Amino acid sequence: MTDASPPPSFQSLALPEPLLRALADVGYEAPSPIQAATIPPLLAGRDLVGQAQTGTGKTAAFALPALAKIDLAQARPQALVLTPTRELAIQVAEAFQRYAVHLPGFHVLPIYGGTGYGPQLSALRRGVHVLVATPGRLIDHLDRGTVDLSALRMAVLDEADEMLRMGFVDDVEAILQKTPEQRQVALFSATMPAPIRRIAERYLKDPAKVTIEQRTSTATGIRQRFWWVTGMHKLDALTRILEAEPFDAMIVFVRTKQATEELAGKLEARGFAAAAISGDIVQAQRERTIARLRDGQIDILVATDVAARGLDVERISHVLNYDIPHDTEGYVHRIGRTGRAGRSGEAILFVSPRERHLLRSIERATGQPIEPMTLPSAEVVNDQRVARFKQRIAEALASDDLAPFRALVDAFEGETGVAASEIAAALARLVQGDAPLLLQPDPPAAAAPPRGPAHREERGPPGARGDSPRPRHKADRPPDPGMARFRVEVGHAHGVRPGNIVGAIANEAKLEAGAIGRIDIRQDYSLVDLPADLPAATLGHLRKVRVAQQQLRIRPWLDRPAREGGDERPRPPRPPRPRGS
């Protein structure tokens, strides 16, 4: 089955009424192609193989059929979703919760490493209907006997190729073998490498096959730019853009309701006309806020994804992603708030070094490059501030009620002998208040993080550059900006592979897999590049994590191979020194 035109509404897919109400609540009007092609066979009970990129709407494609079959009276796991990372597990669990808002008593539980077992065990004892899990932590629960899959009706493998890349395929197969024989299985993957095809052939029965070709879905009239979040707080960077970038109205997207209120408050404190909306505000308040934006009473709307659905205000010239979305669908929806009806628009994305893989995912999925941008310099911002200050003076001079103030200034000048220009400067200082009028000059610019993927292996033959052979070890090259190098006590001697290390660290340290840099596996230890700002508590937890039956005992790499055992080959013994030398 290939890409088909979506039906006019979700009602035609025979979804239960509570799910249709939830979809209306979040503003979904029509199914995406993968939802239209996938929901009917899953509702009919067929196994399914879906090939689609992240950002096509596949979470709803499997979550809605799973929820349609849930027996709320039976508080045992009836649907299981396996994901490669903690972040995706949380995201999928939140989607289930959103779609199940009108299913009273529904419970979904994300299970992942990097946190204690206590809260997860408590939730399991209370009863859950859907589990969303990373393979490693679920295997632990199954081994402990704390998760019972005997009532399972549906199992979903989400981003199967990513689970393969992270070394989880054996765990995935072990989990599938512990599920009931009559359960339904849906497998979703952006690519179909041979190991994934083998899983499909072994564990799926006569599956429906859906392939969705990724199309560029962002408006061509929107210029897309990104800024590396380095060397400056995001709020200060946003302030510079607001001061120096000409815009009519702007939506600033953040991830949480709390963040909307905090950021809107900080922008108001800096003199901007801003307001917050989130999915929790009542409809009447939402409409009033949007009306104020439309009428020009406010210029900046700080919003979550859910709150901005269906929002169409002609004034919106800019969309700024203060927090990068975790999926392409969210990004496309966000920037679609500008550049509507043939108008041009501007989309700006803030990207931290550890989020660069999300930037690459968005570019791949949309088929459009996102160009780097340089923040307005302090000099540019100061020029704008001075121009605005002069404009305020000109507007005041044009008013008709200056006579009383002119008399006061003349009297003060006559009494004190202070020049009128000095009096004007003092009055301007009073008007400006405590906020400095001008920014301090910018320090020298720091190098931006690389755009390329995290390195897992050396590239190019020795001496390819013609000047010197490549370094013997990958670790001889310094870490990328924003990264630091660590040693872990597991290597070739223990049968470890890069995917084992990536999977363990990504889940236990609550990192996206793409945030992990170069991995250099040596004989009895390995070197791995991680974000330099990892908290001490996270490193403390990673020291106890086991990979290939070995504790990682992670610690900073001191770049002193002689002291750290860096040369894997034993040194030959020195010949005895001749006497008398």
Residues 153-162 have a mean pLDDT of: 93
Identify the weakest region by mean pLDDT among 295-299, 447-451, 486-490. Answer: 447-451
Q: Among residues of the chain, what percentage have pLDDT more than 90?
A: 37
List Cα–Cα distances, 417 to 62, 235, 267, 402, 423, in angstroms: 80, 44, 41, 21, 10
Across 52-165, the runs of DSSP E, i.e. the strands, are 79-82, 108-111, 130-133, 154-157
Tally Cβ neighbours within 10 Å of residue 214. Answer: 17
Note the pLDDT of residue 446.
44
Note the pLDDT of residue 477.
72
pLDDT tens digit sequence for 61-111: 999 999 999 999 999 999 999 998 887 888 899 889 999 999 999 999 999
Tell me the two tokens of residue 524: 């009895």
| Element spanning 502, H or E | helix 498-508
Radius of gyration of the chain (CA): 29
Note the pLDDT of residue 465.
32
pLDDT tens digit sequence for 384-401: 778 878 888 888 888 888
Task: For residues 496 and 478, give the distance between their C-alpha atoms in angstroms, rounded to a whole number.
Answer: 23
List Cα–Cα distances, 158 to 191, 210, 512, in angstroms: 12, 14, 15
Note the pLDDT of residue 96.
95
Task: For residues 317 and 191, give the distance between their C-alpha atoms in angstroms, rounded to a whole number.
Answer: 37
Task: For residues 199 and 418, give the distance between their C-alpha atoms in angstroms, rounded to a whole number.
Answer: 87
Q: Say if residues 285 and 291 touch (Cβ distance below 8 Å).
A: no
Identify the weakest region by mean pLDDT among 24-28, 235-239, 490-494, 495-499. Answer: 24-28
Angle between helices 194-203 and 169-177 (to 10 degrees): 0
pLDDT band (50, 70, 90) for residue 443? low
Q: Say if residues 121 and 146 touch (Cβ distance below 8 Å).
A: yes
Residue-by-residue DSSP string for 141-203: HHHHT----TT--EEEE-SHHHHHHTT-HHHHHHHHHTS-TT-EEEEEESS--HHHHHHHHHH
Q: Say if residues 47 and 66 touch (Cβ distance below 8 Å).
A: no
**Average of per-residue pLDDT values in the chain:** 82
The strands making up 79-82's β-sheet, listed across from edge to edge, are: 108-111, 130-133, 79-82, 154-157, 184-189, 48-51, 208-211
Beta bridge partners of 110: 132
Note the pLDDT of residue 305.
79
Residue-by-residue DSSP string for 220-278: TTEEEEEEE--SS-HHHHHHHHHHHS--SEEEEE-SSHHHHHHHHHHHHHTT--EEEE-
Residues 229-246 have a mean pLDDT of: 86
Q: Say if residues 512 and 87 touch (Cβ distance below 8 Å).
A: yes
Note the pLDDT of residue 104.
94
- Given a cut of 50, is residue 279 above it in pLDDT? yes
Q: What is the dihedral of CA 286, 291, 292, 296, to 10 degrees?
A: 150
List domains and CATH numbers for the chain: 10-211 (3.40.50.300), 222-378 (3.40.50.300), 474-562 (3.30.70.330)
Pairing of strands 371-372, 208-211: unpaired
Note the pLDDT of residue 215.
52
Q: What is the dihedral of CA 26, 191, 109, 182, to 10 degrees?
A: 110
Higher pLDDT, 467 or 327: 327
Q: Name every residue whose Cβ is closer than 8 Å to that of residue 295 and which is 6 or more positions away in sequence.
A: none
Length of the chain as a residue count: 581
Task: For residues 454 and 447, give the distance between their C-alpha atoms in angstroms, rounded to a whole number.
Answer: 17
- Give the global pTM: 0.49
Residues 20-25 have a mean pLDDT of: 87
